[in-house]
């Protein structure tokens, strides 16, 4: 069974810290890996998409890396802000249908 | 540019009733998906569609039916709602196959009494 694990489940940091969220997966033949942000009671906002042939993607203060051989991805958030407080989900594409396998998420709280 | 919309946003129904959740996207994406999100289970795929009139089951499809007569619409029907179907339902779309970014709607919170 394909599984995606995110550690830690929750994280609280002071404003300004750099932080890393972890995502591990069991399927070595993933098509891509996507990071999402979800605010309470809201939908999912796509943050970064890494294709299986890529090693990393960057958007502003966010940098996501992918290591297929070890089954890991990380999301690096630089200079965290209270507005970054949300749940972060990683998911990988399964097969050529595009369906996503999700982790349970990491809930981040950035304190002012 | 509306993107992907879902209706209703909130729904309360009773066990045994039929319920249809609507999903509409304005991008003409080929692929559309329905997921449910539950505490302890995360997001799980219910059904997906590669194009109009092409649908296939996901991980948790029992008790659900979908149709896709038009590219832009992908309704999800609960034929006879059960309490275990109380959940938040998300619709998503993607322009291509497995390499493409997936975009999500705002969700429908369904409560079955």
Q: What is the pLDDT of residues A79-88, one digit of tens each?
A: 999 999 999 9
Model pLDDT for residues A2-28, shown as the tens digit of each residue: 799 999 999 999 999 999 999 999 987
| φ/ψ (deg, to 5) at B100 | -95, 150
Paired tokens of A7 = 């550690």
Which of A48, A97, A104 to mutate to test binding with chain B, by most B CBs within 10 Å of its CB?
A: A97
Average pLDDT over chain B reads: 93
- pLDDT value for A79: 97
Identify the band that residue B98 occupies on the pLDDT scale cut at 50, 70 and 90: low
Q: What is the DSSP secondary structure assignment for residue B45, as one 8-state letter?
A: E
Model pLDDT for residues B29-39, shown as the tens digit of each residue: 999 999 999 98
Residue B96 reports pLDDT greater than 80 = no
Model pLDDT for residues B51-90, shown as the tens digit of each residue: 989 999 999 999 999 999 999 999 999 999 999 999 999 9
Is the Cβ of A34 closer than 8 Å to some Cβ of chain B?
yes
Q: Give the three-class secondary structure for A32.
A: strand
Is the Cβ of B2 closer than 8 Å to some Cβ of chain A?
no
CA dihedral angle for residue B95, residue B98, residue B100, residue B102, rounded to 10 degrees: 80
Is the Cβ of A104 closer than 8 Å to some Cβ of chain B?
yes
Subunit contact B98:A98, Cβ cutoff 8 A: yes
Identify the band that residue A97 occupies on the pLDDT scale cut at 50, 70 and 90: confident
Q: Give the three-class secondary structure for A81.
A: coil
- pLDDT value for A98: 78
Residue B2 reports pLDDT greater than 80 = no
Paired tokens of A62 = 């966010």
């Amino acid at each position: 069974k394909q599984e995606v694990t995110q550690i830690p489940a929750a994280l609280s940091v002071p404003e300004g810290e750099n932080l890393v969220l972890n995502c591990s997966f069991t399927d070595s033949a993933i098509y891509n890996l996507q990071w999402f942000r979800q605010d309470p009671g809201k939908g999912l906002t796509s943050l970064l998409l890494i294709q299986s042939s890529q090693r990393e993607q960057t958007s502003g203060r966010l940098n996501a890396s992918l290591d297929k051989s070890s089954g890991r991805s990380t999301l690096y958030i630089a200079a965290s802000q209270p507005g970054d407080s949300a749940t972060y989900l990683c998911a990988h594409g399964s097969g050529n249908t595009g369906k996503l396998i999700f982790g349970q998420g990491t809930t981040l709280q950035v304190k002012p | 540019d509306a993107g992907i919309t879902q209706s209703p946003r909130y729904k309360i129904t009773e066990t045994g009733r039929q319920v249809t959740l609507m999903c509409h996207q304005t991008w003409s994406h080929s692929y559309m998906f329905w997921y449910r999100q539950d505490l302890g289970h995360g997001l799980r795929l219910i059904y997906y569609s590669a194009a109009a009139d092409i649908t296939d089951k996901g991980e948790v499809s029992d008790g659900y039916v979908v149709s896709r007569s038009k590219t832009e619409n992908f309704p999800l029907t609960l034929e006879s709602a059960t309490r275990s179907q109380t959940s938040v339902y998300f619709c998503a779309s993607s322009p291509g196959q497995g390499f493409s970014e997936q975009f999500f709607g705002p969700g429908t919170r369904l409560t079955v009494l």
